Amino acid sequence: MNQERLVQTFLTLGIIDSVSGNELHVARDIQSRLHSLGIQSSMDDAGTSFGGNAGNILARMEGTIDVPPVLLCAHMDTVQSTKGLKHIRENGIIKSDGTTILGGDDRSGVAIILEIVQTLGEQQIPHGPIEMLFTVCEEAGMHGAKNIKRSDVEAPYCFVFDCQASPGAYIVEAPGAVAFDVAVHGQSSHAAVSPEKGIHAIQIASRAIAHLKLGRWANTGMLNIGTIHGGTSINVIPDRVDITGETRNADEHELKSQMEYIRTTFETAASEIGGKVKIDFKEKYHGYSFSENDPIIRIARKSIEAAGLIPTPMKYPGGSDANVLNRKGIPTLNLGVGFKNAHSFQECIDVRHLVIAADIGLKIVEQCSMRKLS
């Protein structure tokens, strides 16, 4: 690996402002870099589905040996703006000056993929075809990945560079997520003159929420109430409360059970007080899990060991493009890159971790180049 080139690519990409839905400038930069390496790329129409100004970039580097392709993936958007980003490098750590995020999530992944393909060409390392996917709008709901079809890529396996765990870690379980909206209906009445005529919507909502098991469910699941809005005046019994929340679980059956649990809890509370509820669930993304015997895990473990590290499986409660791509029928593993404090102004990355993560990616290509399709 050319460490300084990798770092410089990361720094240059970081100062290109491209929050979710506004990735066009960084997309053009990536395509220009690929073109200079003789790699053709194309942009799909994913942005039109959510009002963005760019789509996913799909690219392919032809192989030098006849083995199945491998797909490498990272996302182009950042959760907040990096406009005005000023990098600080101290003791091998890269961070911002504290006035913006660093954008390590996921410019580190993009830089790693670009360095891998450049190194393969420069060092004439034998390899199969390398497919690349740079997605848009991952941070706002994986909207770019949701536009991908299984037929868009040939690779039997995909590796995503988008986890803030240290290199050597990989996510074997991540939950699916469902958002929900609850409309609690009561009956308004004057709270002082005729309270007995009212049905208190806030009381219904409060009773239901008090009975819910909020917080962690199983290894990576959860249940949370996010917002509550209701009432009009302190002397009026409120006739409506609107509630939003989310529940997650890696097991699809368990996730459906949690949804039914939420529905039953609210309906019971409403029935006890005399009101009604309307609950709408909206699927955000599906969960997934791997076993240590799955081929993609064996590839990752051998590659991590070849890089001199101990493979570390993780069960992670968050979502990523891996959730969506696995659901599309593309076995996808999210790998630790090492950026820390993601989504905050304290975000940072150790240069050593950036280099090691890139080396693991290179080892993955080499492992895939030694395998026939399992």
H, E, C per residue of 228-294: EEECCCCCEECCEEEEEEEEEECCHHHHHHHHHHHHHHHHHHHHHHCCEEEEEEEEEECCEECCCCC
Tens of pLDDT, residues 93-109: 999 999 999 999 999 99
Query: Is 305 one of the annotated active-site residues of the chain?
Result: no
Using alpha carbons, select from 356, 338, 355 the residue that is nearest to residue 347: 338
Query: Is 138 one of the annotated active-site residues of the chain?
Result: yes
Tens of pLDDT, residues 336-371: 999 999 999 999 999 999 999 999 999 999 999 886
Tens of pLDDT, residues 158-183: 999 999 999 999 999 999 999 999 99
Tens of pLDDT, residues 246-262: 999 999 999 999 999 99
Alpha-carbon dihedral sign for residues 293, 299, 302, 304: negative
Q: What is the share, in percent, of the chain residues with pLDDT greater than 90?
A: 98
Pairing of strands 70-75, 158-163: parallel
Identify the band that residue 276 occupies on the pLDDT scale cut at 50, 70 and 90.
Answer: very high
The answer to whether the CB of 72 falls within 8 A of the CB of 158 is yes
CATH number for region 3-174+287-369 = 3.40.630.10
Q: Is the pLDDT of residue 373 over 70?
A: no
pTM, rounded to two decimals: 0.92
Tens of pLDDT, residues 301-338: 999 999 999 999 999 999 999 999 999 999 999 999 99
Residue-level pLDDT at 1: 82
Domain ranges, ordered by start, for the chain:
3-174+287-369, 176-285
Catalytic residue among 44, 115, 138, 321: 138
Catalytic residue among 17, 23, 44, 77: 77
Residue-level pLDDT at 374: 42
Distance CA(45)–CA(78), nearest Å, equals: 19
How many residues make up the chain in this entry? 374
Distance CA(99)–CA(109), nearest Å, equals: 22
- Is CATH 3.90.76.10 the right assignment for the domain spanning 176-285? no
Separation of first and last alpha carbons in the chain: 29
Q: Give the Å distances, CA to CA, from 223 to 14, 212, 268.
A: 34, 8, 18
